Chains A and B, each alone.
Chain A
Amino acid sequence: MVTRINIGPVHPSTHGVLRMVADIDGDTVVNVEPHIGFLHRGVEKLVETRMYMQSPVYMEKLDYVAPLSYDEIYVAAVEKAMGVEVKERAMYVRTILLELQRIASHLLWLGTMANDVGQFFTMFMWCFKDRDLVLRLLEEASGARMFYVNMRIGGLIRDLPPGFDERTIEVLGYLEKRIKKYEDYLEKNPIFVDRFKGVGVVSREMAIELGLTGPVLRGSGVSYDVRKDNPYYIYDKLNFEPQKRSEGDCFARYRVRMLEMKESIRLVKEALRNIPEGDALGMQIRLILPSAKSKIVCVSRELPRGECLMYMVSDPQRPYRLSIRAPTFINLAALSSIVKGCRTADIFAILGSLDIVMGDVDR
C-alpha cells in the first residue's frame, strides 16, 4: 500500500524551505515530488528595474553559501555587455577569491551533509570552524564576512591587503591537514560508508539526460567543467584538471567535492605564486554610471554547485532581461528520478549529496 507523507517545508534536512511529498510503499520510495517556490523573490524581474551596479547585492542573496561566485558572474556579464576588459592582476585576485569561496562553500556542504547521514554535529562543528578561517580571508580582501559585493567593472573594489598571501598559505596548509582528517573520519566510518556507497546511483547517460551539472555530473563520469572546457580568467594558465568519478553514487559525489577542495587549494597556491604586480581596481560606481549597448550576452561560470549561465539582454542603463540558469534548480529537478526505488532514509542522503541551496533554486 502506498502511503503519502509530507516532508518540510521547514525541516532540518531540507537545507532551506523545501517541501517534499513522498509516496512510499513500506520503506521503498515510489515517488518524491519536490515543491519549491517558498523563497521565490523574483530576482530576474527585480534586476530589470535596477541600474547595472545596484544588482550585485541581489545576486549574492541567490546562493547565500557562495555569494562571491554569483557576484562575479553577474559583473562578468555586465563587463561583457559593456565591452570592458578585466585588468590582469584583477583576474588573478578574482580567481583566488573564487577558489577560496569554493572551499568555504564545500566545507559548509560537508558539515551539513554529514548531519544528514548520522554524523551528528562533529563534522558540522569542525567544518564551520574551518570555514570561518576562509571567510576571514575573504573578509580581509573585501571588508565583509558573508556578502562581499567587492566586484567592480574591470576589477575589484580594493586590492588584496598586505600580507594576504602569507596568511592564505598558512590557512591552506592547515586546511590540507584538516581535509585529510575529515576523509579519515568519514571514510573509515562504516555508518557513513553504508549510507553513501551504492546509494542514489546516476549513470552517465542518465546524468546527461537529466541535465545534471557540477560535481553531480562529474560524479557520474562526465568530466565537464567550465574552468577547463570554456576557461575564463587565468584557468587556462593554471595547471588544472577537473575531478571526476565514474561510480555515480552519493559517495562518488562526496569524493568529487573532497578532491575539488584539494584542487582549489592547489590552484590558490599556484595563483598566489604567479600573481603579477599592478592595479586591480575597477570602476568606482559612484563616479561613473555604467552604460552598455543593446546586445545579448551569455556568460558561463563554474560555481561551487555547478555551471551557472547568465543570459542577458542589455539596455543602456539596466538589463532588459536577465535569465539565470541556476545549477541547483536542475539538480533538484532530477531528485524524483534519482530516488525511485530507494529507502525512505536515503532521500536525505541523496538530497545532501546533491548540495542544494533554496535561494538558488527559487530565485
Chain B
Amino acid sequence: MKIDRALLLEKARELKSQGYSYLVKITAVDYESYLEVIYMLRNLSERKDETLEVDVDPADAWVPTLIEDFKAADWYEREMYEMFAIEIKGREMERLLLEKWNGKAAPLRKNFAWNEPYEKGD
C-alpha cells in the first residue's frame, strides 16, 4: 500500500502491533521522476504479507529509520543508503557496509555513470 513518508513509522508500528513483526526486505526502485522505497513485512503466525511503499523525491531523498522496531532493518537500510543515496534519518552509520566502496555515487540509480573511472574507498 502506498503511504506518505511522514506516516511510515506510525504505520509500521501499527502493523507490528497487529503481528507483522518479521521484516522481509527493504528495497528501493528508481523511477527517475521519483524513488520508491519498499518495506515488506510479514505476519508469521497468520502467514500474511504486507507491503508499504513510500515515494521520495530524488533531490530530497530520505526516509526515517525503522531500526528501533525492526532490528533486521539495520543492514538493509545501510545497503539502501549506499546503493541509492537515500539518507536514513534517526540513526548513525559510522562506516559504509561494503568494504572498499567510496560511497560517493549511487550505483543503483538510473543516472549512475557506470563507465566512468572508479575511485577506491578505504
- Contact of B104 with A by CB under 8 A: no
> Hey, which chain A residues are within 8 Å of B70, CB to CB?
209, 211
Q: Once the chains bind, are B47 and A19 in contact (CB under 8 Å)?
A: no
Contact across chains for B24 and A208 when beta carbons are under 8 A apart: no
Contact A37 B97 (CB under 8 A): yes
Contact digits for B77-97, partner A, Cβ 8 Å, 1 yes 0 no: 000000100000000000011
Complex Cα gap A224–B44 (Å):
7
Query: Which of chain B's residues 2-42 have a Cβ closer than 8 Å to chain A?
Result: 21-25, 27-30, 38, 40
Q: Do residues A333 and B24 form an inter-chain contact, with CB atoms below 8 A?
A: no
Interface residues on B, range: 20 to 34
* B99 A36 Cβ-Cβ under 8 A: yes
**Contact for A37 among B25, B27, B40, B101, CB less than 8 A:** B101
By a CB distance below 8 angstroms, the chain B residues around A38 are 99-100
Cα distance A42–B82 in the bound complex, in angstroms: 12
B74, A333: Cβ atoms under 8 Å?
yes
Most buried by A among B25, B44, B71, B74: B25
How many pairs, one residue from A and one from B, have CB atoms within 8 Å of each other in the complex?
73
Q: Flag if B21 contacts A309 (CB, 8 Å).
A: no
Q: Does A71 contact B (CB under 8 A)?
A: no
The reply to whether A36 and B21 contact each other, CB–CB distance below 8 Å, is no
Does A321 belong to the interface (CB within 8 Å)? yes
Partner-contacting stretch, out of A148-156, A185-193, A323-331, A339-347: A323-331
Contact with B along A73-94 (1 / 0, CB 8 A): 0000000000000000000000
Return chain B residues, CB-CB under 8 Å to A320: 29
Q: Are A45 and B24 in contact (CB under 8 A)?
A: no
Contact status of A45 and B38, CB under 8 A, knowing A209-B70, A333-B75: no
Question: Which residues of B have CB within 8 Å of A37?
Answer: 96-101
| Cβ-defined partner of A44 (8 Å) among B22, B47, B108, B114 | B108
Residues of A within 8 A of B71 (CB): 209-211, 337
Identify A323's interface contact among B23, B25, B114, CB under 8 A: B25
Report the bound CA distance from A323 to B21 in whole Å: 22
Q: Which of A9, A211, A222 has the most CB of B within 10 A?
A: A211
Interface of A is mostly: mixed
**Minimum distance in angstroms from B102 CB to a CB of chain A:** 12
Looking at the assembled complex, report how far the CB atom of A221 sits from the nearest CB atom of chain B, in whole angstroms: 11
Residue A311 at the B interface, CB < 8 A?
A: yes
A40 on interface, CB distance cutoff 8 Å: yes
Residue of B nearest to A211 (CB): B72
A135 to B106, CA, bound (A): 39
* A311 and B38 contact, CB distance less than 8 A: yes
- Is A323 a contact of B27 with CB atoms below 8 Å? yes
Q: In the complex, A210 Cα to B21 Cα: how many Å?
A: 10
- Cα(A323)–Cα(B28), bound, Å: 8
CA distance A334 to B38 in the complex (A): 21
Instruction: Fill in one digit per residue for B101-122: 1 if any A CB lies within 8 Å of its CB, else 0.
Output: 1000001100010100000000
Having A45-B114, A321-B30, one finds 17 other A-B pairs with CB under 8 Å, namely A9-B99, A37-B96, A37-B101, A45-B112, A208-B22, A210-B72, A211-B23, A211-B72, A222-B44, A224-B44, A309-B24, A309-B40, A311-B38, A323-B28, A325-B25, A333-B75, A334-B72
Can you give 25 A-B contacts (C-beta < 8 A)?
Answer: A37-B97, A37-B98, A38-B99, A40-B98, A42-B107, A45-B114, A208-B44, A209-B21, A210-B72, A211-B70, A222-B44, A309-B24, A309-B40, A311-B27, A311-B38, A313-B29, A321-B30, A321-B108, A323-B25, A325-B27, A329-B75, A330-B75, A333-B72, A333-B74, A362-B98
